[in-house]
Amino acid sequence: MVHYKTLEEIEILRENAILVSKTLAEVGKHIAPGVTTRQLDKIAETFIRDNGAVPGFLGYGGFPATLCLSVNEVVVHGIPDDTVLKEGDIVSVDCGTVYKGFYGDSAYTFPVGEVDKETAFLLKTTEESLYLGAAQAIDGNRIGDIGHAVQSYCEERGFSVVRELVGHGLGRDMHEDPMVPNYGKPGSGKKLREGMVICIEPMINAGKKDVYERKNGWSVATVDGKKSAHFEFTVAVKKGKPEILTTFDYIKKLKES
């Protein structure tokens, strides 16, 4: 069942989205060789609580941390621990908040120091595909239009799209209907209507599309050990043009400084 949002509820979702955006940038300031993923998790928890919200992931379904921190071949749901980041790694930072009864949810994959050209191209392609998918989130289109935009762009560039994990609706629960795959056929799937708020989140692999769940019951990794990138933001479906509630501008300012 899809929960359509009022304008007031979308504004609260926007507040959450902005806080998550700022949290991702705060974490990004500290991503460097020698830092552990556990250290990054503490930074995020402190920042979220200092801004009057609570971590959305901590305890959700039993998840033990504030962030999902997924390094290299880990696609999503990596658990922060004593893993030390190294030059050339990439790390997906997936963050959620709860504020005024609603959730925020967004992700960004950061390079650790300098990365090789193929990895840089993977990151660039995945982020660009997110915007292409979001451009389809308008009233009257269908879910398949979003997935097709992501899939066609990434596969044309030699990458593969994870099938087992998808985007989702967002509101008073972190995972609401509809599910939003990163693959599909144009004109297929559920019709998009104004008032829907969805998370679009391409998960794109450098190698094969196949993944498996690790023994910890959370982390999902590529079967071939090749790197995977993950970008996500929250979008309100509108007539004529989607409204992206998340912003990566805070992260872009880090790169410019």
- Hunting for tokens 């790169």 — which residue is that? 255
The correct answer on CATH 3.90.230.10 for the domain covering 7-256 is: yes
Q: What global pTM score does this model have?
A: 0.97
Q: Count CB-CB contacts under 10 A for residue 195.
A: 17
Distances (CA, A) of 225 to 71, 93, 135, 201, 220: 11, 19, 31, 21, 11
Pairwise CA distance, residues 16 & 57, whole Å: 13
Q: What is the pLDDT, as a whole number, of residue 159?
A: 98
pLDDT by residue for the chain (257 residues), tens only, comes to: 999 999 999 999 999 999 999 999 999 999 999 999 999 999 999 999 999 999 999 999 999 999 999 999 999 999 999 999 999 999 999 999 999 999 999 999 999 999 999 999 999 999 999 999 999 999 999 999 999 999 999 999 999 999 999 999 999 999 999 999 999 999 999 999 999 999 999 999 999 999 999 999 999 999 999 999 999 999 999 999 999 999 999 999 987 87
* C-beta separation of 205 from 75 below 8 A: yes
Beta strand spans in the chain (E)? 54-55, 67-71, 74-76, 90-99, 102-111, 160-161, 167-169, 176-180, 197-200, 203-205, 211-213, 220-222, 228-230, 233-236, 243-244
